[in-house]
Structure 1
Amino acid sequence: MLATVVPSLVLFTENEKLRLFKLFFLVFLIGTTTYLKAQTATITGVVFDENQTPLPNVNITSGNKGTFSDINGFYILEIIADQETTITFSHLGSERLLLKDLILNTNENYEFNPVLQQKAILIAEVVVTPSGTRYAEGVTTISSDIARNIPGSNAGVENILKLLPSVSSNNELSTQYMVRGGNYDENLVYVNDIEIYRPFLVRSGQQEGLSFINSDMVENLQFSAGGFQAKYGDKLSSVLDITYKTPVAFGLKIYATLLGTAATVEGVSKNKKLYSITSIRSRDNSLLVNSSNTKSNYDPSFFDIQQYTTYIFSPKFRISYLGNLSINNYRNTPFTRQTNFGTLNDIKTLTVYYAGSEKSQFRTNLNALKAEYRLNDKTTFKLISSLYFNREQEYSDVISQYQLSELNSNIGDDNWGEPTPINGLATQYDRARNDLDAKIVNLEHKGTYSNDGKVIAWGLKYEHTNIRDQIRESEFIDSLGYMVRPPNSEFQRNEPEISFEAPLIPFQGIIAKNAVNTNKVSGFVQYSRQTEWHGHNLYYNLGARATYWVVRGKNLAKSTHTIFSPRAQLSIKPNWEKDMLFRLSGGVYQQPPFYRELRDNKGTVHPEVEAQKSYQLVLGNQYSFKLWQRPFTLIGETYWKKLTNVNPYTLEDVRLRYAAQNNAKAYAYGAEFRLSGAFVPGTESWFSLGYLKTKENINGQGYISRPTDQRLNFGILFQDYMPEVPNIKMYLNLVYNTGLPGGSPSYEDPYLYQNRLRDYKRADLGISYIFVGANNSYDENTFLRLFKELNVGFEIFNLFNNQNSITNTWVRDLTNEQQFAVPNFMTGRILNIKIEMRF
């Protein structure tokens, strides 16, 4: 995935060749002079804590030279060669470690991986570091091991986010999530400072394959559900900040289940300058999709390859590369569907027979380079560039004949349970020919300056987006022998009394072709400080973002926009006997429209659409304590959002369709609690509870529930093991969410349809046996000596076989013109087998 471009000398004249030769000679001479001036050696490695977890922000010094370990615990320090040197490792909350009387030869690279012992200090104390503290910033940090081991039909980072009180999702086939009343488009995702984008045309969870985030490559995971700092981008809801790990040695991991396979290889060059990790994954969701109530021939093929490489030129300068290629092929040939719905006294059945098929392809490619230069211990510069290319095709031709029936619910009747048709056999024809190409180019500079607990951070980013989109969708309804036309004023619904002789018109139809370019420049600056106030630890952050963008396109009028967003965070840890931390954050959060937000439900692009604006206020408390002589943390937050310039949308499965108008206002408020700790010694589990209310007012008609108005969210992550056989591990996650609004039929006023879907209830269980692990011993004469890790297990998805639904299908009874909301049920109970090995 890496490519090196070397310009050919044939392209240069003789004079130019001579000048190039002189330049190279000068560079060589300077390098040689530098070498003669100071003979040096390099010490490098990874700093660990007592739990063998990489420790960031450790101060490593030697005389007047020094550095800090990065977020992966990695450090590199250049020292004077051929003389005795003492290296000091210090970190607040850990015992200081000295490496004395070290003598390295000239140009020698010495690897040293120290383990710092913890001091007896308060639990979750606010840690003073050059970049602030994650506790004070209100960021949730989750162990990467939990993200890798948690069971779920879409296991990984997003799966564990759904167990947080601020996050909800009613679709186990999708990796997308909603945060505090926001939709799927309102979440920022970064991997090693590089912004990640999602496909545009995906309409159902079963079309999704693999999440971009590869949990086998993750080292650190931080998540903010609101009130985040100005250094993050312009989105309304949340930030997921992922750091991929820097390898410390060669390793190979192989993972296989009934749903897919993965292989990850990592390594370090002999001179400790090149670090690389590469992972290949494939996935097949047939096992999941075939458990739904629609019988089909489902043939998916999801594949991706991802690489993260770092080359260290010197202790001050390094370059990193992140590359990803993802190919998702989705083929589905539905056969039949039978869905029972209604109440015990009024049971109805929808029976559907299908002909035709769906075929979609989503191909994405990301290439990103990041150069990092540490001028000194106080100042760091970063230059980040990325190119994201996405090609999507969505083709389908599906004919469905359906019939509504009523089941005889009279138990004493001879015909009990027999269906009685409500209407005749109706026919629906759906056709789609959608093509979209997207190219997104980014160039960004970031910098930080830190000194004595004060940090100044800044950034400037240019983003160019080019979208070429052709959408052609149509839906025809044929019932009782005639075609049903749209209920528009120009069409009189008088069939079959008066025949309709005009050309056939789809009940719903979109035909559009768009070419849109967006150029956006954004920047931020923020100031942070860690200090003391009357004996209390105090942290605050003040910052602001500004964004300017221009929208152009074929047959579109040029449109320019500017926004300004101030933000602030304040945290205080009182000098109390109880270990408590209080946080207050808020500001203005604005989201410039992306392409999907500019396109209305007819396919027309509106470049004049403004950024949606949210005024946010978040108040939080973190209380750390000991229970049963084990550490626990209780985190509570309340939040309030006022939204203006709202762009209303409809939600169908995972597809969002916007009105492309800023004709609404909205609000959201709620409260959340999460209790985490070692309920079982040596493990981490948590219980979370969240309450949310969000409503919108469209065109002054009054407030109604937004499509994401999920009032109650309850989640449990529980880890356990057998005391007699500790190698048997158990992971259990449970989710309970109250129902989302069920939406409204086509052409109908959403104010008239405020019914809700049934509550979402799901439990996933995973049990594994660890043959080889960090705490296991084995006979050196057995084949187990070949493995560093080996575990085998099974998972049960949807343990209690609950029938959950994500959306409704609206079926028309044309005899009396009634419409019925038929729930689309998700997956049933499934058994999955897995094996994981690392060499």
Structure 2
Amino acid sequence: MSITKFFFVFITLWVSLPSFAQSARVKGVILDKNNKPVENVNVTVAGSRTESNENGFYLIRIPVNQKVAVVFTHVSLKKATVYLTLKIDEDYEFNLVMNDREEQMGEIIVTTNNKKQVHGITTIEPEVIRKIPGANAGIENILKTLPGVNSNNELSTQYAVRGGNYDENLVYVNDIEIYRPFLIRSGQQEGLSFTNTDLVQNVEFSAGGFQAKFGDKLSSVLDITYRKPTRFGATVEASFLGGSLSVDAISKNNKWTAITGVRYRNNSLLVNSQDTQTNFTPAFVDVQTNINYQASPKWQWSFLGNISQNKYQYQPLTRQTKFGTIDNPMALTVYYEGQEKDKYDTYFGAVKTTFKASDTFTLKFIGSVFHTLEQEHFDIFAQYRLGEVDSNIGSETYGDVAFTRGIGTQLNHARNDLDALIVNTEIKGFHDWRKNLLEWGVKYTRESIRDRVVEWEVIDSAGFSINPPIIDLPKNDQPYSSYAGPLVPYQNVRATNFNTISRFSGYGQWSRKDKIGNSEVWYNAGVRIHNWEVAGENVISSSQTTVSPRAQFAIKPDWEKDMVFRLAGGVYHQPPFYRELRDADGVVRPNVKAQQSIHFVLSNDYSFKMWDRPFKLVSELYYKSLTDVNTYTIDNVRIRYAASNVAKGYAQGLDFRLNGEFVPGTESWFSFGYLKTEENSENKGYIDRPTDQRLKFGLLFQDFMPNIPSVKIYLNLVYNTGLPGGSPSYADPYLYQNRLNDYRRVDVGFSKVLLDNTIGKSKTNWLGNFKELAIGLEIFNLFNNQNAITNTWVRDVYSKSEYAIPNYMTTRVFNVKLSARL
């Protein structure tokens, strides 16, 4: 084991260390009954103390996620007490009028603030993420119910946002950018998302028009904050799909805290429900920890580490897929030999330190290392038979293939290996200055890629080897005349690339809250700069720079109705990552430009009460103008780029989301989205992009049985219209504008709380050690809909036609889950 790997293993497994509890801030102005500022008011909370200044202003930090008493005392005025419950990094403004009598205010629980609303950020509660059922439960499972977010692959955690692809989404955990493995081509190979939902404290998502402080991607930002423990605790979960364990720890002096999670997942239950019968032995395991240390009231340190090992062994046996129409039913039968052995080992470590130089100036330093070792090895031999199905109900062969239209064989081979090391260093600054917030950051990234691609495919139809159409070979006129030309693979990619990419990026932005008359307004403006250089063997170094200005404006009119209007826009660039530089032949093209998107987003947030309960309706209208587009094809979750900037395009749409307490005490929502995205390659005309998901409807609903409140019901429903179905290899996509069938899926979960000690039950036996014990039943794909992810293209040797045969996803699956909280 190398020194680097040993370092990651040692730090990540060192889970017994606890760390500091993060704080929130309370600030405001203290006045007397004559509305005059009160100086020298003592403000105390949980052992911390501060005083108000000559203007009556005070600021104090308080612990998060627990009810604390903030006490205000003065030598000539009576004591006042307020109870607050704030979340991580919340800034809450509490202005107090002190008088001659002692006062005890009510409890205030802050779950969000106006910043989320005016910046176009959707906040998702961790409890919702953990409880809502899904074949790939977690944050991404919930995102797919939001408007503008699309995916028709329940085995994958990847998603597309407003016409973008899977590579166009930013993901941060504790301000640290997260990377995905490179070589994954199928959703069933993914295993585990980086984010461990048992560790999550806060989730924020923006589908477009986001600020300059976020990085250089075209579509969206997912910003996740991990929990800082305030007491010891543990959670355990086990199901037919795997299990997880997480532990919270804290030191006696509260300076150290740690939260650690271990997960194991096995997708056999889901994969075995597909058309292809397999021997499937996967093993997806990861260990993740977040360690924090409060060095002083002004200085904090943290470490985020992750080790993930995904072993994917896949041996297909047979497949039978029926398709066609009622009048002309057809079937594809395939018999397989061989196997696929893939492995993805990733090691991630990041150190973050925050120094609060003063009440108005904060610095952050972040350093991270991501190392991935990936191999994709397979030899799969397939013999297929394409035929017409006997649809005569009275026939003895009803349902069987009655006439064979085509037979053939196919051999796929790959020996793909990749070793990537990505190092980041970053400094961020935050300045509060006279109602203005100034933020800036500088980042250096070095990506070192060692990649070997050996991949080929041989196709034989009716005994005749099929040559690729792009190679000029003698005409194959068998069996009428003998073929004298060479036999070559239908597809053949062989390349070895050793490349480094150096990146310098930075941003600066300004934010301010103000008033226009009696209306509240918020301003934000910023700019990002990104310079990168590609170097390597057999590559001529190329350096490019992009500048991306962005701005937001929001106004809350002084109306009786609670409404906020927001206008956001700017220029967004996506400098190419390694996968975007590599063309279909495996060759790295260093001169590929950054794709550019100009965003325009107009939105309205309307908060209201219905049935005397809170609700909110969010409406967004958006348009994105795309230039220097790097065209691509999608096969399952594998994206292959043309590595050129010969296209332009656009994406436009409308999103709605209504959320609130349809059932008292629970959050549910309905979402609807309309999207149209097209591209024009080399001025051939506009065609649908691979992610053109026209209509989308999502529903997330929570309820409980009125007579048995310990039984809860969770519903997750998604309906998407069909995506473009792609085209055969070497074919012109302009000639293949067919679409897959609509994607319809309903997952439902039932949970029975067996034990609940959070309401003060006595510990009469060992079960009293559990805070909560529950058992659940989940039904995935409740209505057993046949949903397709892509098409397999098969030739008919007689008619010379190409048949698009859908690759169906999972059918109805049952899962049992047991969860416990200590």
Q: What is the TM-score of this pair, normalised by structure 2? A: 0.89
Cα distance change, pair 572–210 in 1 and its aligned pair in 2 (3 A):
same
Quote the offset at 1:74 in angstroms.
Answer: 11
2-structure distance, mates of 1:48, 1:543: 25
Map 1:26-37 to 2 at 5 A. Answer: none
Letter in 1 for 2:370: Y
> Which residue of structure 2 aligns with residue 341 of structure 1?
323
> Which residue of structure 1 aligns with residue 29 of structure 2?
none
Given the alignment of the two structures, is residue 406 of structure 1 paired with residue 388 of structure 2, yes or no?
yes
One of 222, 237, 245 as aligned partner of 1:240: 222
1-structure distance, mates of 2:80, 2:360: 22
The CA RMSD over aligned residues, in Å, is 2.8
> Which residue of structure 2 aligns with residue 635 of structure 1?
618
2-structure distance, mates of 1:772, 1:2: 42
> Which residue of structure 1 aligns with residue 598 of structure 2?
615
> Which residue of structure 2 aligns with residue 441 of structure 1?
423
Letter in 2 for 1:279: G
1-structure distance, mates of 2:306, 2:66: 25
1-structure distance, mates of 2:21, 2:412: 61
Conserved 8 A contact 2:757-2:770: no
> Which residue of structure 1 aligns with residue 171 of structure 2?
189
> Which residue of structure 1 aligns with residue 50 of structure 2?
62
> Which residue of structure 1 aligns with residue 337 of structure 2?
355
Cα distance change, pair 311–464 in 1 and its aligned pair in 2 (3 A):
same
> Which residue of structure 2 aligns with residue 557 of structure 1?
540
> Which residue of structure 2 aligns with residue 221 of structure 1?
203
Quote the offset at 1:377 in angstroms.
Answer: 1.1
Cα distance change, pair 472–74 in 1 and its aligned pair in 2 (3 A):
farther
Given the alignment of the two structures, is residue 649 of structure 1 paired with residue 632 of structure 2, yes or no?
yes
> Which residue of structure 2 aligns with residue 39 of structure 1?
none
1-structure distance, mates of 2:113, 2:430: 21
Higher mean Cα deviation, 371-380 or 775-784? Answer: 775-784
Given the alignment of the two structures, is residue 579 of structure 1 paired with residue 562 of structure 2, yes or no?
yes
Cα distance change, pair 803–190 in 1 and its aligned pair in 2 (3 A):
same
1-structure distance, mates of 2:358, 2:479: 82
Cα distance change, pair 116–214 in 1 and its aligned pair in 2 (3 A):
farther
Conserved 8 A contact 2:274-2:808: yes
Quote the offset at 1:414 in angstroms.
Answer: 5.9
Given the alignment of the two structures, is residue 494 of structure 1 paired with residue 484 of structure 2, yes or no?
no
1-structure distance, mates of 2:602, 2:682: 31
Cα distance change, pair 800–621 in 1 and its aligned pair in 2 (3 A):
same
One of 451, 455, 465 as aligned partner of 1:469: 451
Conserved 8 A contact 1:47-1:115: no
Given the alignment of the two structures, is residue 209 of structure 1 paired with residue 213 of structure 2, yes or no?
no
Q: What is the TM-score of this pair, normalised by structure 1? A: 0.87
> Which residue of structure 2 aligns with residue 150 of structure 1?
132
Quote the offset at 1:409 in angstroms.
Answer: 2.5
Conserved 8 A contact 1:638-1:671: yes
> Which residue of structure 2 aligns with residue 40 of structure 1?
none
Given the alignment of the two structures, is residue 386 of structure 1 paired with residue 368 of structure 2, yes or no?
yes
Residue aligned with 1:511, SS: strand
Residue aligned with 1:134, SS: helix
Map 1:43-58 to 2 at 5 A. Answer: none
Residue aligned with 1:249, SS: coil
> Which residue of structure 1 aligns with residue 672 of structure 2?
689
Quote the offset at 1:814 in angstroms.
Answer: 2.1
Quote the offset at 1:493 in angstroms.
Answer: 3.2
2-structure distance, mates of 1:691, 1:684: 24
Residue aligned with 1:423, SS: strand
Conserved 8 A contact 1:59-1:89: no
Higher mean Cα deviation, 87-96 or 133-142? Answer: 87-96
> Which residue of structure 1 aligns with residue 294 of structure 2?
312
Aligned-pair identity in percent equals 51
Quote the offset at 1:514 in angstroms.
Answer: 0.6
Residue aligned with 1:686, SS: strand
Residue aligned with 2:322, SS: strand
2-structure distance, mates of 1:308, 1:2: 18
> Which residue of structure 2 aligns with residue 250 of structure 1?
232
1-structure distance, mates of 2:25, 2:127: 16
1-structure distance, mates of 2:302, 2:284: 27
Letter in 1 for 2:739: R
> Which residue of structure 1 aligns with residue 87 of structure 2?
none
Cα distance change, pair 125–48 in 1 and its aligned pair in 2 (3 A):
closer
Letter in 2 for 1:746: S
Conserved 8 A contact 2:240-2:816: yes
Cα distance change, pair 703–4 in 1 and its aligned pair in 2 (3 A):
closer
One of 745, 770, 791 as aligned partner of 1:808: 791
Given the alignment of the two structures, is residue 749 of structure 1 paired with residue 728 of structure 2, yes or no?
no
Cα distance change, pair 76–224 in 1 and its aligned pair in 2 (3 A):
farther
1-structure distance, mates of 2:357, 2:171: 28
Conserved 8 A contact 1:88-1:96: no
Cα distance change, pair 292–470 in 1 and its aligned pair in 2 (3 A):
same
> Which residue of structure 2 aligns with residue 764 of structure 1?
747
Higher mean Cα deviation, 342-351 or 501-510? Answer: 501-510
Conserved 8 A contact 2:8-2:307: no
Map 1:417-432 to 2 at 5 A. Answer: 417-432=399-414
1-structure distance, mates of 2:782, 2:337: 33
Conserved 8 A contact 1:179-1:237: yes
Residue aligned with 1:170, SS: coil
Conserved 8 A contact 1:666-1:694: yes
Cα distance change, pair 687–59 in 1 and its aligned pair in 2 (3 A):
farther
**Gap regions ≥5 residues in structure 1:** 7-42, 50-56, 80-84, 99-113, 128-132
Conserved 8 A contact 2:758-2:771: no
Map 1:53-92 to 2 at 5 A. Answer: 62-63=50-51, 66-69=59-62
Quote the offset at 1:135 in angstroms.
Answer: 1.0
Conserved 8 A contact 1:231-1:459: yes
Could you list the per-position Cα deviations for residues 485-507 of structure 1 after superposition, in whole angstroms to 9, with x for gaps in the alignment?
A: 11135122323333334443101
Quote the offset at 1:587 in angstroms.
Answer: 0.3
Letter in 2 for 1:652: D
One of 676, 690, 698 as aligned partner of 2:681: 698
One of 92, 100, 108 as aligned partner of 1:118: 108
Residue aligned with 1:756, SS: coil
Letter in 2 for 1:560: S
Conserved 8 A contact 2:418-2:451: yes
Residue aligned with 2:767, SS: helix
Letter in 1 for 2:148: S
Cα distance change, pair 474–59 in 1 and its aligned pair in 2 (3 A):
farther
Higher mean Cα deviation, 620-629 or 493-502? Answer: 493-502
Letter in 1 for 2:50: S
Conserved 8 A contact 2:208-2:601: yes
> Which residue of structure 2 aligns with residue 178 of structure 1?
160
Conserved 8 A contact 1:653-1:806: yes
Conserved 8 A contact 1:62-1:86: no
Higher mean Cα deviation, 186-195 or 423-432? Answer: 423-432
2-structure distance, mates of 1:336, 1:126: 55
Conserved 8 A contact 1:640-1:668: yes
Residue aligned with 1:785, SS: helix
One of 269, 276, 280 as aligned partner of 1:298: 280
Conserved 8 A contact 2:791-2:804: yes
Higher mean Cα deviation, 86-95 or 618-627? Answer: 86-95
Quote the offset at 1:812 in angstroms.
Answer: 1.2
2-structure distance, mates of 1:236, 1:757: 26
Cα distance change, pair 610–674 in 1 and its aligned pair in 2 (3 A):
same
**Gap regions ≥5 residues in structure 2:** 11-19, 27-44, 53-57, 73-78, 85-90, 99-103
Quote the offset at 1:724 in angstroms.
Answer: 1.3
> Which residue of structure 1 aligns with residue 807 of structure 2?
824
> Which residue of structure 1 aligns with residue 697 of structure 2?
714
Could you list the per-position Cα deviations for residues 541-589 of structure 1 after superposition, in whole angstroms to 9, with x for gaps in the alignment?
A: 0100001111101000010100000000011001100000100001000
Conserved 8 A contact 2:583-2:641: yes
Conserved 8 A contact 1:403-1:421: no
Given the alignment of the two structures, is residue 531 of structure 1 paired with residue 514 of structure 2, yes or no?
yes
> Which residue of structure 2 aligns with residue 797 of structure 1?
780
2-structure distance, mates of 1:466, 1:195: 17
1-structure distance, mates of 2:9, 2:122: 41
Higher mean Cα deviation, 482-491 or 288-297? Answer: 482-491
Quote the offset at 1:481 in angstroms.
Answer: 2.0
